[in-house]
């Protein structure tokens, strides 16, 4: 029997507290000898190859991002979270965190199981799970969770398809995380846990910290939005926090985004004002609910403020332009989060003012007064080897993206 030992936590500071806890609760086993013992013990446990979504959940649990969760939710908690963003015990969380599998053959009587990573060659064990319950998820329950979290059950929605293509058997219970999947190896300079980011913020002496979420390269409007937020909020620092996990087809790979963003920060941000980091999670494209999740784990990593702009975490036409902002007023329980939201409008270059502005702060403008390019047009230009205008993208960033598109 593998025993569940306590894990290392961050030291307390006067920074913003994690959600629902006085301290961060990472589930990664930091003690090298204990982790080696568990890896060896896992070889003798019944095992299952989990979904990419469940592996991403393990990475986030391991890094402390999902504090104070201790593992995968049971069906009652998942339905409660889908309906009201509350578990059965009343704990706040914005989306279900599930380990859904196709089969539990050989696992039925197991007290503990080894969870194998689908995203790493050889499927090494990413975590050990204590089995508290094995439950069948009905199609009705899946439909309810899908509708509540994604606001649609349309299988053309990439997040809906990914969620519903998992199994229908939920294994719940606490976990011990043994590694961070492929993220440490592939993104050694960028992947950081919530523990590491909190410690970095503390060491830099930052108190007011704004976080910026991205799954795309940052063009001039994104860069200037970050500068605006830092100035208006009187922040000490900015954490650019990019998603490193799976995206929908056509999105720019994480290594290219990383290069482009680091180049932008190096050239256009003062020293010690911004850090570039990333987290190991698969994009949900869940719009408003994912915006709340993003705010949740940014508070856990130590940010006091979080930028949410137009169509945050959206895809297609499934969400209203500012649904990801209004959800904090309409649905998030009062007092559930301490992090403050910086609500941004679409930002673009104004030909009248010769600078980037939020469009709702630019009176006497028509659409023609702004430099606006669709994503499709930008991709066409980059593929042709043409840099977008300087009012849209920094030339150093455009060069990196042109090289990527022309290599396809």
Question: Does residue 91 surpass a pLDDT of 70?
Answer: yes
Question: Does residue 8 surpass a pLDDT of 70?
Answer: no
Q: Would you state the pLDDT for residue 361? A: 95
366-394 per-position pLDDT tens digit: 999 999 999 889 999 999 999 999 999 99
Provide the token pair at 29: 């086993």
In this prediction the pTM is 0.94
Residues 6+ apart with CB under 8 A from 327: 288, 289, 291, 292
Q: Would you state the pLDDT for residue 5? A: 39
Q: Would you state the pLDDT for residue 205? A: 93
Q: What number is the average pLDDT over the span 267-278? A: 96
Q: Would you state the pLDDT for residue 2? A: 43
Residues 6+ apart with CB under 8 A from 104: 48, 134, 169, 171
What is d(CA 246, CA 235) in angstroms, rounded to the nearest whole number? 31
Give me the chain's average pLDDT, please: 95
Q: What number is the average pLDDT over the span 159-179? A: 98
Residues of the chain with CATH 3.40.50.620: 189-406
The CATH number of domain 189-406, selected from 3.40.50.10860, 3.40.50.1970, 3.30.390.10, 3.40.50.620: 3.40.50.620
Phi and psi of 173, rounded to 5°? 145, 165
Residues of the chain with CATH 3.10.400.10: 32-184
Q: What number is the average pLDDT over the span 70-80? A: 98
Which of 61, 67, 54 lies closest to 29 in space, CA to CA? 61
What does CATH list as the number for 32-184?
Answer: 3.10.400.10
Active site residues: 215-216
Q: What percent of the chain has pLDDT over 70?
A: 97
């Amino acid at each position: 029997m593998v025993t569940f030992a306590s894990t290392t936590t961050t030291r307390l500071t006067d920074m913003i507290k994690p959600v629902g806890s006085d301290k961060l609760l990472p589930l990664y086993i930091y003690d090298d000898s204990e982790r080696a013992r568990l890896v060896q013990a896992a070889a003798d446990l019944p095992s299952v190859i989990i979904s990419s979504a469940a592996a991403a959940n393990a990475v986030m649990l391991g890094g402390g991002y999902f504090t104070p969760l201790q593992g995968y939710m049971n069906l009652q908690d998942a339905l409660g979270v889908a309906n009201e963003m509350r578990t059965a015990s009343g704990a706040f969380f914005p989306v279900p965190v599930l380990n859904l599998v196709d089969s539990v053959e050989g696992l039925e009587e197991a007290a503990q199981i080894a969870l194998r990573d689908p995203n790493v060659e050889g499927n090494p064990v990413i975590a050990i799970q204590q089995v508290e319950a094995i439950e069948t998820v009905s199609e009705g329950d899946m439909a309810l969770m899908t509708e509540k979290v994604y606001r649609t059950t349309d299988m053309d929605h990439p997040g809906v398809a990914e969620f519903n293509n998992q199994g229908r058997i939920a294994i719940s219970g606490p976990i011990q995380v043994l590694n961070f999947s492929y993220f440490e190896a592939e993104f050694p300079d960028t992947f950081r846990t919530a523990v590491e980011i909190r410690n970095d913020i503390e060491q830099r002496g930052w108190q007011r910290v704004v976080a910026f979420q991205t799954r795309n390269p940052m063009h001039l409007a994104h860069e200037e939005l970050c500068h605006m937020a830092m100035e208006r909020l009187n922040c000490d620092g900015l954490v650019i926090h990019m998603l490193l996990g799976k995206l929908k087809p056509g999105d720019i790979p994480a290594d290219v985004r990383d290069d482009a963003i680091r180049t932008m920060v190096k050239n256009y941000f003062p020293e010690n004002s911004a850090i570039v980091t990333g987290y190991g999670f698969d994009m949900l494209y869940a719009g408003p609910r994912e915006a709340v999740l993003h705010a949740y784990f940014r508070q856990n990593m130590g940010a006091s403020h979080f930028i949410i702009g137009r169509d945050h975490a959206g895809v297609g036409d499934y969400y209203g332009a500012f649904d990801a902002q209004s959800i904090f007023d309409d649905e998030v329980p009062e007092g559930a989060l301490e992090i403050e939201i910086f609500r941004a409008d679409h930002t673009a270059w104004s030909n009248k003012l010769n600078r980037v502005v939020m469009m709702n702060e630019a009176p006497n403008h028509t659409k023609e007064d702004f430099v606006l390019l669709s994503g499709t047009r930008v991709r066409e230009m980059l593929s042709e080897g043409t840099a977008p205008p300087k009012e849209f993208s920094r030339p150093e960033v455009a060069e990196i993206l042109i090289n990527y598109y022309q290599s396809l």
